[in-house]
C-alpha cells in the first residue's frame, strides 16, 4: 500500500463546519481506493443493493441562509459594515455555497482550504476522512477593498445593484497567487482560458475567506428559478419518487438522441442490477459559460422538448439546473461536478469523453486527454462512495437510421456528428439525419441560431435583443 507523510501545520480550517479539523498528522496512509485501480460501477446482478440516498459529504448538508425572522436584522447590520461588491460569477458562488453544493464548506475558502484544494484536490475532515474539493471557491479583492476593510472581522457582500446579499464573518485575507492557481487548476497558463480571463486575470491581488450568512435565497428572476432545485429540494423530490438509485448526467450542450440512448441504457442496466426505481438527474450547468456555448435559457427550452417528445421519460427524469460556473478545467473540474452531485443525492455519475474540457486556447488540439477525466474520477480521493459510469460511445447508425452504440466491427456503418457539424447544420437551417435529435429539440436549436447576429469579428455571435 502506498503511503505518504504530511507535515503537521499550525492552522485550522474555519470555513468548514466547526467540528472539522484540517490539521494534518504524520504518516497518513492513503485509502485502498487510491491504489490507482479504476473504480467504476460493476454492472452485475449480484451487486449489493442498498436502499436510500447517499449521505452528503461530511454527513450533513450545509445551509448558509439566515432564518427569515433574522433577514431584516442582517440587512441593517450589513449597512454598517465594510462592503465588497460581487461580480455576477461571485454571486453564483454564493448561491453554490449557500445551498450546500460544496458541503462541508461554510463559506469562501480561507488559505488552509485554498492550499489543500490546489495541492491535494481534497479537504481532510476531523475523523481523518477526505471530501473531494478540486476547484478553489474563493473571493478576490483589490488593495483598496482590503484597506477599506481594515481591522473588521465582518464584511457585507453586495450584488451589482448594491443590494446586500450576505455577510462574510470571521474573515481571513491572504495573497492571491494567480499564476499558481491558474497553473494548478488548468495545467497551463496559456492565454485565452475563458474562466481565467473572466475572473482571475484582472481580479484583485488578495483573497478573502470566511463563513457566509446569506440573507435570502439567490434568485435570478429569469423565468428559470423553478428549475433551480437545491440539494435539499432534489433529495425530497427523489424521496417523493421512491428512488432507490440516482444517476446524474452533467451537460452544458443540447441533448441529442445519443445522450438519451446513454441515459436510458444506464437505467436499464441499473434495473438489471436489482434496483427497482433508478431516477435520472438531468442536470445542465447553469452558471457562467463561455461566449460560444448555447445559453442556458435555450438549452432549457431544448431539454423540455426532449421530455415532451418522449425521448426521456418524465416519470423517471428530474430536470434541474446546477448553479455552478464553468471552469473548462478538464479532469480537475470534473471532480467538482461529481462531488456536488453526491451532495444532491446521486450515487451514480455518468462521465463522458473529455468531461469539462475544451480546445487548447492557442494550439489546434484538445487541452486535455479525452480519457483522463473518467480515469481521474475512478481514483479521486473523496469520491470513493460514488459509482462512476463511463460513457459508451454513441454515433449515428446509417443502417438503422438512429443513434446507436458504436460497433467497431462495422465502423463504416456509423457517422459521427461533431458539435461543430451540429452547429453548422442548425445555423444553416438544415436538418440532421432522422433520429439524431427529436424534431422539437432541433427546432429550438435552429431558432436559437436564427436569433443571433454576427459580431464584428464574425466568430462569436451575440444574441439579438428581445
Q: List per-block mean pLDDT (blocks of 10 residues) for the chain, which spans 466 residues.
A: 34 45 31 41 45 88 97 97 98 98 98 97 91 98 97 97 98 98 98 98 98 97 98 98 96 92 94 96 97 95 96 97 98 98 97 92 96 95 93 91 95 90 92 95 96 58 36
Can you give the pLDDT at residue 420?
80
Can you give the pLDDT at residue 40?
58
The pair phi, psi for residue 141, each rounded to 5°, is -135, 160
CA–CA separation, 318 and 173 (whole Å): 40
CATH topology of domain 225-451: Rossmann fold (3.40.50)
For the record, the C-alpha cell of 373 comes out as 477525466
Can you give the pLDDT at residue 464?
34
For the record, the C-alpha cell of 135 comes out as 476547484
Can you give the pLDDT at residue 256?
94
CA–CA separation, 293 and 256 (whole Å): 16
Can you give the pLDDT at residue 390?
83
Count the alpha carbons within 13 Å of 48 in the hemisphere toward its beta carbon.
Answer: 1
Per the CB < 8 A criterion, the answer to whether 349 and 386 are in contact is: yes
Instruction: Pick the closest to residue 107 from 18, 199, 3 (CA basis).
Output: 18
> What is the SS3 assignment for 58?
helix
CA–CA separation, 135 and 411 (whole Å): 39
Can you give the pLDDT at residue 41?
57
Ranges of CATH 3.10.400.10 domains, the chain: 68-214
Ranges of CATH 3.40.50.620 domains, the chain: 225-451
Can you give the pLDDT at residue 22?
33
> What is the SS3 assignment for 121?
coil
Can you give the pLDDT at residue 16?
58
Can you give the pLDDT at residue 39?
56
Q: Per DSSP, what are the bridge partners of residue 132?
A: 122
CATH topology of domain 68-214: Sulfate adenylyltransferase (3.10.400)
Structural Rg of the chain based on CA atoms: 23
Which 8-state DSSP code applies to residue 251? E
Can you give the pLDDT at residue 419?
79
Amino acid at each position: 500500500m502506498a503511503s505518504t507523510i504530511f507535515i503537521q501545520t499550525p492552522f485550522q480550517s474555519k470555513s468548514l463546519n466547526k467540528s472539522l479539523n484540517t490539521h494534518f498528522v504524520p504518516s497518513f496512509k492513503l485509502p485502498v481506493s487510491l491504489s490507482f485501480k479504476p473504480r467504476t460501477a460493476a454492472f452485475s446482478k449480484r451487486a449489493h443493493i442498498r436502499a436510500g440516498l447517499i449521505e452528503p459529504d461530511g454527513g450533513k448538508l450545509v445551509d448558509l441562509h439566515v432564518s427569515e425572522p433574522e433577514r431584516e436584522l442582517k440587512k441593517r447590520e450589513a449597512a454598517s459594515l465594510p462592503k465588497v461588491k460581487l461580480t455576477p460569477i461571485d454571486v453564483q458562488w454564493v448561491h453554490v455555497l449557500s445551498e450546500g453544493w460544496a458541503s462541508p464548506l461554510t463559506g469562501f475558502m480561507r488559505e488552509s482550504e485554498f492550499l489543500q484544494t490546489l495541492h491535494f484536490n481534497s479537504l481532510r475532515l476531523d475523523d481523518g476522512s477526505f471530501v473531494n474539493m478540486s476547484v478553489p471557491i474563493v473571493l478576490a479583492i483589490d488593495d483598496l477593498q482590503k484597506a477599506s476593510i481594515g481591522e473588521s472581522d465582518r464584511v457585507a457582500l453586495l450584488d451589482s445593484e448594491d443590494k446586500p446579499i450576505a455577510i462574510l464573518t470571521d474573515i481571513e485575507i491572504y495573497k492571491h497567487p494567480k499564476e499558481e492557481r491558474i497553473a494548478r487548476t488548468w495545467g497551463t497558463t496559456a492565454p485565452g482560458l475563458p474562466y481565467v480571463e473572466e475572473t482571475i486575470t484582472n481580479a484583485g491581488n488578495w483573497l478573502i475567506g470566511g463563513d457566509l450568512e446569506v440573507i435570502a435565497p439567490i434568485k435570478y428572476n429569469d423565468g428559470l428559478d423553478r428549475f433551480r432545485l437545491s440539494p435539499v429540494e432534489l433529495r425530497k423530490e427523489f424521496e417523493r419518487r421512491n428512488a432507490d438509485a440516482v444517476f446524474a448526467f452533467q451537460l452544458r450542450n443540447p441533448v441529442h438522441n445519443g445522450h438519451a440512448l446513454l441515459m436510458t441504457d444506464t437505467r436499464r442496466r441499473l434495473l438489471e442490477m436489482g434496483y427497482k426505481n433508478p431516477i435520472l438527474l438531468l442536470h445542465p450547468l447553469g452558471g457562467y459559460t463561455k461566449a460560444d456555448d448555447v445559453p442556458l435559457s435555450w438549452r432549457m427550452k431544448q431539454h423540455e422538448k426532449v421530455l415532451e417528445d418522449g425521448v426521456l421519460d418524465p416519470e423517471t427524469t428530474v430536470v434541474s439546473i446546477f448553479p455552478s460556473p464553468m471552469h473548462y478545467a478538464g479532469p480537475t473540474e470534473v471532480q467538482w461536478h461529481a462531488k456536488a452531485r453526491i451532495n444532491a443525492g446521486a450515487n451514480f455519475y455518468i462521465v463522458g469523453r473529455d468531461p469539462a474540457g475544451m480546445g487548447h486556447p492557442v494550439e489546434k488540439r484538445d487541452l486535455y486527454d479525452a480519457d483522463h477525466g473518467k480515469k481521474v474520477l475512478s481514483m479521486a480521493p473523496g469520491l470513493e462512495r460514488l459509482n462512476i459510469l463511463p460513457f459508451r460511445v454513441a454515433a449515428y447508425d446509417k443502417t438503422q437510421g438512429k443513434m446507436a452504440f458504436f460497433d467497431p466491427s462495422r465502423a463504416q456503418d456509423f457517422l459521427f456528428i461533431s458539435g461543430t457539424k451540429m452547429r453548422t447544420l442548425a445555423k444553416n437551417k438544415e436538418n440532421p439525419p432522422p433520429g439524431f435529435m427529436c424534431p422539437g429539440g432541433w427546432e429550438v436549436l435552429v431558432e436559437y441560431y436564427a436569433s443571433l447576429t454576427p459580431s464584428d469579428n464574425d466568430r462569436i455571435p451575440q444574441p439579438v435583443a428581445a
